[in-house]
Structure formats: structure tokens, C-alpha cells
Amino acid sequence: MIDQEMKQAVLDGFAKEFGDNEGVKCYFAPGRVNLIGEHTDYNGGHVFPCALTIGTYAAARKRDDRVMRFVSLNFDGSRRETSLDDLVPNDPKAGWTNYPKGVVWAFEKRGMKLETGFDMVIIGNIPNGSGLSSSASLEVLTGFALRDMYGFDVPNQELALIGQDAENNFNGCNCGIMDQFASAMGKKDNAIFLDTADLSFEYAPIHLDGMKIVVTNTNKKHKLTDSQYNARRSACEHALSQMQTVCDIKGLGDLSIEEFEAHKDVITDDDERVKARHAVYENQRTLDAVAALKAGDLEKFGQLMNASHVSLRDDYDVTGIELDTLAETAWKVDGVIGSRMTGGGFGGCTVSIVKDDAIENFKEQVGKAYKDKIGYDCTFYIVSIGDGPRVIE
Ligand code: ADP
Ligand code: MG
């Protein structure tokens, strides 16, 4: 139902902006929520995200010249016109279109040249900038649409790598592979247990009988996400280089807790040692959480979610008062299985698993505590786990 409404919105938008709808196709790619395994993906560790039923929709059509025109129905004044001869990274004038342009650039870099440009109208139903990866959904959406329109032979997993390339090298955010992988490889009612060291993965069914996944948005406006994110990544890389002088490892994710504790003193900087500790312990928590889920022990899964938040708060230092207020209040509410920040941090959202009969109480208590402490409202979304990118017929 939502799919058809959104399809109609992009088709109407397309006709209004570009004259008619002749030969236009519609596409969708999901956002994602990460259940556990945060800031482990660029450390070669494990993550456990799932694609959502919300994401970004596009209507697109090839042109017969080299022009590319983009419109987002989510923003006024979003229209941008550019060309295949103008793929300049991080162009401030390009605004949001640096994401789709970056994807075109990453295709061309891999030898998949577009002969002609295209027109594209998008609309998202995912709150953007909130840690649910609207940017990855936009990248995977663009890649999926290009594959379909131009007939490129590229599997979904490669669409994830292309999206990450666009985000890292065209948009300047050094994110790991998790977001794009979750969007490109999503499967209804399953989370993806991914080893980012070699991209091996398995789907894990999520049966939440009598429970829901609740995402709570801090609605925090000013974030320094990219610079802070890149700083954490650099700290881990430096810690890794020192660990590699004593251990034969490719990433911090290769270290067991015992190995880390035995050798951690080679990391000379106190702060970097603590950041590395998060990466190692969070990786282990992710392995333990998936094992607990498989054993049907949701209580343990929830405790590991809470411990993840504590580590992100105390060791990795990426939470802040808004996310802490949400998670710490949630922990005290009866019927909450677990609650933690999700995504990069510094604002954005928490993810909580909440029993059905506790959801109203959860919203009331968390909403009130947040408003009292922070001064404005948070927003709640009950989310469902959906499939990866697709054509909307
Ligand atoms: P997140 O990926 O967590 O949502 P980011 O800051 O990484 O947050 O990405 C948000 C950015 O992605 C927006 O500022 C915008 O540039 C782009 N974006 C995402 N969805 C849309 C959309 N529907 N229309 C236009 N731009 C979008
Ligand atoms: Mg993003």
C-alpha cells in the first residue's frame, strides 16, 4: 500500500518536473537499523543490521544526451542539473545530489560507463540524518536503478561496495560497509549477521512474538557526525597499527578479548586504547548476541544491547546526553528487552525491543523524561524488517 502511494508520488513528481511519465520506472531501496555491532564495521568486526520497510523511492528514465537532472520531493529547491562530464567529488553546489552522482562516478570507475544521462525524482519516508541510513538507501537505490536502466551486470553485494565507495570517496564520509550492505542485501524478517572482514554473512530470522522494534529519534539538529566519525576511525586505525607489531591481525575485529587484554599496552595513547577496547568487546558482544538469539534467549540479547550502549557511551564516547537519556530511561521501563543507540551516534536514534503491551508505557515514560531533560520531543517509530532494493511494479 505504502509502496503504491510512494510510487504515485514520484510518478506525479516526475510528470510535473520533466513533462510526462512515458517509459519511467519506479524503484525502492530500504534504510536500515543496526541491532548490535556498532562502529565495528570499519574494524573488520561483525555487525547485525536489518533492512527496514521504509527507505527511498525513485522514478527514473534515461535521456538521450549527457545531462542528469535530479529532484527530491522531500526538499524544496532540491532540483539540480548536472552532466556525466561533471562528476566532481564533494561539490558543495551539488548538495544532496553528491550521493547519486557519487554512485554514477563509482560505476564509471569500475568500467561501467553511462552512454547517456537520466532524469530522476526521489522521495524518502525515512527520517534523514537520523542514523537509519537514508544516505545508504539513496546510494543503493541509485545503483539499483542504474543497473536496471543501463543493463549493467552487477550483483547486489557489489551495489553495496559501490555505494560505500560513493560515500567514502565522493562524499567524504569514511563509513564502513554495514549500511550499504544492509540496504542492498536486506531480507524480510531477517537480520544480517555480517563479518565485515571478508563480507561472509548469514541471515538470521527475527521472530519477535509479542514484541516490536521501536526506533526513537532524538531529533537532535546540529551534529558533527562526519568529522567525529572519521576521528574515531583514525584512532582505531592507529591503535591497530600498534597492535600489529605484536599480533598477526588485519583488523581489530580479529582480536579476541583475551588477546586484546594481553597486548593492549602496545597501544601508547590512552584514549586510542579505550577506543580499540570498544571495537574488540563490541565485536564479541555481537557474536554473543547472535548466539543468544539462535538459542531463543532474547533476554540475553537485550542485555547485550544495553551493554553495547554503555560501551559506546563510556569507551567510544559517541552517545551524548540525548541518546543517553533515551536509552537509560528505556532500561527502567518494564517490558523493555533492550535499548541502545544505533548508527554513528552523536544524535540520531536508539533502537529498542519492547513487548507489545509495554509500548504505550515506553512511549510515555521515555517521551516525558526526554522532554523534561532535553527540552524538545523525541519521535517514536515502530519499524518492520523488509527486503532489499526492488522495482516497484
Ligand atoms: P543518514 O544516512 O543517517 O540518514 P546522513 O547524514 O548520512 O544521515 O545522510 C543524510 C543525507 O542524505 C541528507 O542530508 C541528504 O543529503 C541525503 N538524502 C537522504 N535522503 C534524501 C532524500 N529523500 N532527498 C534528498 N536527499 C536525501
Ligand atoms: Mg548516512
pLDDT the model gives residue 285:
98
| Close Cβ partners of 196 (under 8 Å, ≥ 6 residues apart) | 40, 41, 42, 43, 44, 45, 46, 47, 176, 177, 178, 253
Distance from the alpha carbon of residue 94 to the mean position of ligand 1, in angstroms: 13
Tell me, yes or no, whether 199 lies in a domain: yes
pLDDT of 121 higher than 80: yes
Residue 56 domain flag: yes
pLDDT of residue 359 exceeding 80, the answer is yes
| pLDDT at residue 222 greater than cutoff 70 | no
pLDDT in tens, 152-197: 999 999 999 999 999 999 998 888 999 999 999 999 999 999 999 9
Quick check: 132 and 31 in contact, CB under 8 A?
A: yes
Convert the pLDDT of each residue in 76-92 to its tens digit: 889 999 999 999 999 99
At 230 the pLDDT is 87
Residue pLDDT, tens place only, 232-254? 999 999 999 999 999 999 999 99
pLDDT attached to residue 129: 80
Q: How far apart are CA 13 and CA 356, in angstroms?
A: 38
| Nearest atom (ligand 1) to Cα of 124 | 23
User: 28: Cβ below 6 Å to ligand 1?
Assistant: no
Asked if the structure places residue 371 within a domain, the reply is no
Burial classification of residue 156, based on how many CB atoms lie within 10 Å of its CB (0-12 exposed, 13-18 middle, 19 or more buried)? middle
| Ligand 1 atom with minimal separation from the 175 CA | 7
pLDDT band for position 221 (50/70/90)? confident
- Give the model's pLDDT for residue 128: 80
Q: Which three cell numbers stand for residue 379?
A: 519521535
Residue nearest to atom 26 of ligand 1 (CA): 96
Tell me, yes or no, whether 90 lies in a domain. Answer: yes
Residue 151 lies in a domain: yes
Q: Is the CB of 124 under 6 A from ligand 1?
A: yes
Q: Mean of the per-residue pLDDT values for the chain? A: 96
Residue 129 lies in a domain: yes
Strand stretches in 206-348, DSSP E: 211-217, 336-342
The ligand placed nearest to the CA atom of residue 128 is 1
Q: What confidence tens digit (pLDDT) does each residue in 262-297 have?
A: 999 999 999 999 999 999 999 999 999 999 999 999
The predicted pLDDT at position 348 comes to 94
Quick check: CB of 57 below 6 Å from ligand 1?
A: no
Domains in the chain, number: 1
Strands 49-62 and 46-47: unpaired
Is residue 76 situated within a structural domain? yes
Residue 28 has pLDDT above 70, yes or no: yes
Residues in the chain: 393
Q: Look-up: residue for cell 549477521?
A: 193
* pLDDT at residue 49 is higher than 90: yes
Residue 218 falls within a domain, yes or no? no
Q: Residue 63's domain spans which residues? A: 1-206+386-391
Residues carrying an active site annotation:
179
CATH of the domain at 199: 3.30.230.10
Q: What is the pLDDT of residues 296-331, one digit of tens each?
A: 999 999 999 999 999 999 999 999 999 999 999 999
pLDDT confidence of residue 229: 86
